[in-house]
Amino acid sequence: MGSFIRSLAITAIAATTTTLPPTRATAQLIVEAELREACEVLRLGDALDVPEWLAFSRTPSIKLDRSGRLFLKGQDPQVTVLEPDGSFVRYIGGEGEGPGEFTLLGSFGFVADTVWLQHLTLLHISYFDSAGAHIRTETDRGPPSSAPSLWRTSLPLARGYGFYVPPIGDVDPETGARPEFKRVELPMLVGIRPEAARDTLAFKYNFTRMHIKGVGTFGHEPFVTPPLYRIHPNGEGVVTVDWEPNQPDEVILRRYGLDGRSARETTIEARLRSVSREARNDFIAEGMEAAERGVAMARQLGGGAPAGLRTAVTDGLLLYDYFEPVSSFFLTHDERVWLRDAVTPEGYEALWLVLGPDGEPEFRVHAPAGIAFRDALGDRVWAVGRTEMDVPFIAQYELVVPGECE
């Protein structure tokens, strides 16, 4: 844990050149770091005749353990474990209502040498040892997290601690009735799981997608809203990536320990990319298109459909003056932080900035077109993608000096 804390030592990365007007192909994170190339070395799941554990019905979630083994979660309520070469090891979990079984599988991860799997709506946590045997299941006694999906968050950390985002109000235990929808900032908390006392890390909106009063919530979300967060791969803390939405001239990484205190910070200068009036109008137009069917149905049923759709959509969106500088990030077992720049480089899927164990920018790397990086260890990166026939697959890439791909 100590070396990971050192990886987020306070660092100020200053621009050495004059900031130019941003364009589509201009990165927003301002750093001096060498560029590396990602060369594909292994692809799994894209053939016509594959074993059962590589027949993906949808794009799987990917995590690596400390040894580099691959953990995959797909459609079924279980996690598949593979060796780094793609060979099968075992399944963890399974469908059912017994110990270590699930009807709906949600998040999963690691705490030291154990693997945890979470029930999607009830948020119960089942722990498994390194051989895949069920150890115990912890019952989460809070209100269910379903509908909306971000109503409540509860994830395990190491040494009996947990990470939480509470619901916006109490759910009636008898009727299941939920409070009226509100877009409010909720605290992100850590603390001992059985205890009510919590330490606040930061605040995040409980919902960021478009919401039209009297109609509902729609899958339209023009901006990534800070703070983003990730659990350390071994459960030894939480890392947040934060910026000021209406003036994102810097990105701040904060590393929180299990006591809820900020241990270290890393500051990265960011290039401002303002939202033009045309872009803003496009976001509103996309929202109107997404909402039209729901509003029409509400009117047919005599519901509280808004009189002016454009006004309702504008009011129901989180619209900022600047684009986000970071669209996502992940943490690795070798104590690196991978930040995805929000600007997509021409001809690539993404540009990633990687901070090394000392907190300094180590290198940048482009994700090939159609490929989404998900986890990494050493010079190997695991990613997901889809074939021309829309078949999901996973792939492993090696990071090399540009021009050295075979």
- State pLDDT tens for residues 32-45: 899 999 999 999 99
pLDDT at 358: 81
Strand ranges for 12-84 from DSSP E? 12-13, 35-44, 61-64, 70-73, 78-82
Banded pLDDT at 306 (limits 50, 70, 90): confident
298 or 373: which leads in pLDDT = 373
- The answer to whether the beta carbons of residues 45 and 389 sit under 8 Å apart is no
pLDDT band at 11 (very low <50, low <70, confident <90, very high): very low
Tell me how crowded residue 83 is: count the other CB atoms within 10 A of its CB.
12
In the predicted model, what is the mean pLDDT of residues 376-385? 96
- When the pLDDT of each residue in the chain is averaged and rounded to a whole number, the result is 87
Other Cβ atoms within 10 Å of 157 Cβ, number: 23
DSSP one-letter code for 162: E
Residue 12 has pLDDT above 60, yes or no: no
- Summarize pLDDT for 101-155 with one digit per residue, the tens: 999 999 999 998 899 999 988 889 999 998 999 999 998 877 766 655 557 889 9
The pLDDT of residue 26: 67
The predicted structure's pLDDT at residue 22:
35
Report which of residues 23 and 351 the model is more confident about. 351
Tokens of 221: 């979300």
The confidence band for 7, taking pLDDT boundaries of 50, 70 and 90, is very low
What confidence score (pLDDT) does residue 361 get?
94
Q: 80: closest CA among 113, 48, 97, 55?
A: 55
Confidence of residue 16 (pLDDT cuts 50, 70, 90): very low
CA distance 365 to 368: 9
CA distances from 321 to 21, 245, 272, 275, 276 (A): 15, 8, 10, 5, 8
Q: Between β-strands 35-44 and 361-368, what pairing exists: parallel, antiparallel or unpaired?
A: parallel
CB 338 within 8 A of CB 351: no
pLDDT in tens, 143-199: 766 655 557 889 999 999 999 998 887 666 677 666 777 888 999 999 998 888 899
What percent of the chain shows pLDDT beyond 70? 89
Query: Which residues make Cβ contacts (< 8 Å) with residue 43, sequence separation at least 6?
Result: 393, 394, 395, 396
The region of weakest confidence among 6-20, 69-83, 360-374, 381-395 is: 6-20
Which strands form 199-205's sheet, in the order they lie side by side?
153-156, 161-165, 185-192, 199-205
